[in-house]
Chain A
Amino acid sequence: MFIAIFKGLWLTLKHSWKTRETIQYPEQKESMPKGYRGLHKLLRWEDGLERCVGCKLCSAACPVDCIYVESEENDENSPVSKGERYASVYEINELRCIFCGYCEEACPVGAVVLSNEYEFCADDRSKFLYKKDDFLVERNDDYPELKNRYSEDKLLTYF
């Protein structure tokens, strides 16, 4: 019995020299896997125009109905998107969203994607109603991890 206890003590002593596995969260962050589905983002084309054409397919695909889209005709002189229409209102209730990624799959222009961002807590339910401005990226290059979220050859290319 005593031999076993000393063996155990030696084992625990050996463990105490091992390198720690802990990730010190706010300072160190774990890198998310490639297919991680976090907060939504709305992407742009390379020339700065919005990808979203306001087709509402994401809204239709959403199994929990958390996406609300209103679309308007593009002004021909200063278009917002490349298609005929653009999304004037684009809202997602992130509390209702189950992060299934169907919106991403349904999108014909690769506009809405799920990013790696997972830190979006708030102290009020109303703060989880994300508006278009909260999703729309300034430049795609700011989010290199979103590059491979959609495959270019599957997108509609009629414009």
Chain B
Amino acid sequence: MAIAGIILIKVVVVFTVLLILAAYMTWMERRVFALVQVRIGPNRVGPAGLLQPIADGIKLMFKETLIPADANKIVFILAPALTLIPALSSIAVIPFGDQVVIFGHQVDLFLADVNIGILYIFALSGLGVYGIVLGSWSSNSKYPLLGGLRSAAQLISYELSLGMSLLGVVMLSETLSLKGIVDAQSEMPFIILQPLGFILFVICMLAETNRAPFDLAEAESELTGGFHTEYSSMHFAVYFLAEYCNMITLSAVGATFFLGGWRGPFLPPVIWFLIKVIAFMFFFMWLRATTPRLRYDQLMNFGWKVLLPISILNALITAGAITFFNL
């Protein structure tokens, strides 16, 4: 019973923190944007505008839910949840700290140590595409449909490179479990051994989360809002939240695979982990404030003709080096 209780508490704490973090990422994004654009950003609601996400959330909750007349209602309502659930679930295998003792109980700071952790994350992020495609199709409107199809094609083609870019790390650490990967980085983070893999991962991560410069799925100038054009109120908020949860999850994956996870000197592990995730998020936002959007053919060319060959090459070189030097 005690173990079940601990797991339950961990689940609640992790998901609450994740959701709050996702909400506060919107605040951070607006502040970072303002920083770059020589503005101030939201600073009225609460100190430094810190209550802004709560105000936004309340506003969204009280908005009217609009469902297009020709929409497939069941799928339309279900689709945002189909995106959010995988986005939330994939955080479960990420270790965010070492074992700690709380009230005499040994508590592992991760929800589950699945021995195929990274495959689990990829499987869930693959499922997340369903939410987007179904949401866009059930809207029965042209812009969402185009946005959803773009998004699906983009996610599928970049998922390959994403997996390939992590393959080097998996080969070096000889495990798919994220806990094992963090343990393998006790001497040095894999970013030193896999710099190319890290760069590839960051690029694919941007494409996976539909972020600028790869945010074609929601290109305002041509598709209005992309797949969530017809969504309003909480349904829209759920999509939004799922997007930010995905960003946080992939940032956490990046931190775990290349930056040594929760390992770091002086500060407690959880703080180190948060610092690394937020650094990733800052980079996301910084890049979005800087880069223009790619054209669709450029995106596909880049994904299939540049990223995929390089990531396969990276995997091959790593495999060769491991065999050659008996690492």
Which residues of A come within 8 Å of B, CB atoms? 5, 8-9, 11-13, 15-16, 18-22, 24
A158 CA to B291 CA, complexed, in Å: 71
Residues of A close to B286: CB separation below 8 A: 9, 12-13
B94 to chain A, nearest CB (A): 27
CB-based nearest A residue for B289: A12
Verify B39–A12 contact, CB threshold 8 A.
no
For A12, the chain B residues whose CB sits under 8 A away are: 36, 286, 289-290
Interface residues on B, range: 10 to 19
Whole-angstrom CA separation of A19 from B305 in the bound complex:
43
Q: Which of A5, A18, A22, A24 contacts B290 (CB 8 A)?
A: A5
Interfacial residues, chain B to chain A (CB-CB below 8 A): 35-40, 286-287, 289-291
Closest to A23 in B: B40
B39 nearest in chain A by CB position: A22
Contact A18 B291 (CB under 8 A): no
Q: For chain B, what secondary structure do more than half of its interface residues adopt (helix, strand, loop), or is it mixed?
A: helix
Q: How many A-B residue pairs have CB under 8 A?
A: 31
Q: Give the Cβ gap from B28 to chain A, nearest Cβ, in Å.
A: 13
- Is there an interface contact between A5 and B38, defined as CB atoms closer than 8 Å? no
Closest B residue by C-beta to A26:
B44
Q: Given A8-B291, A13-B36, A20-B38, list of 15 further CB < 8 A pairs? A: A5-B287, A5-B291, A8-B290, A9-B290, A11-B290, A12-B36, A13-B286, A15-B35, A15-B36, A16-B35, A19-B38, A20-B40, A21-B39, A22-B40, A24-B40
Q: Which 10 A-B pairs have the closest CB atoms?
A: A16-B35, A12-B36, A8-B290, A12-B290, A22-B40, A18-B38, A9-B290, A16-B36, A20-B40, A15-B36
Chain A residues within 8 Å of B291, by CB: 5, 8
Q: Measured between C-beta atoms, what is the minimum distance from B46 to chain A in Å?
A: 16
**Contact (Cβ within 8 A) B39 A20:** yes
A61 to chain B, nearest CB (A): 43
Residues of chain A within 8 A (CB-CB) of B290 are 5, 8-9, 11-12
Which residues of chain B come closer than 8 Å to A15, judged between CB atoms? 35-38
Q: Cβ of A21 and Cβ of B38 under 8 Å apart? A: yes
Residues of A contacting B289 in the complex (Cβ-Cβ under 8 angstroms): 12
Which B residues are in CB contact (< 8 Å) with A13? 36, 286
Taken together as a complex, chains A and B put the C-alpha atoms of A5 and B37 apart, in Å, by 17
Bound-complex Cα distance A25 to B36 (A):
21
Q: Which residue of A lies closest to B35 (CB)?
A: A16
Among residues of B, the one whose C-beta sits closest to the C-beta of A9 is B290
- Name the B residues within 8 Å of A9 (CB-CB): 286-287, 290
Q: Chain A residues near B36: list those with CB within 8 A.
A: 12-13, 15-16
Separation of A8 and B287 alpha carbons in the complex (Å): 9
Q: How far is the CA of A15 from the CA of B290 in the complex (A)?
A: 11
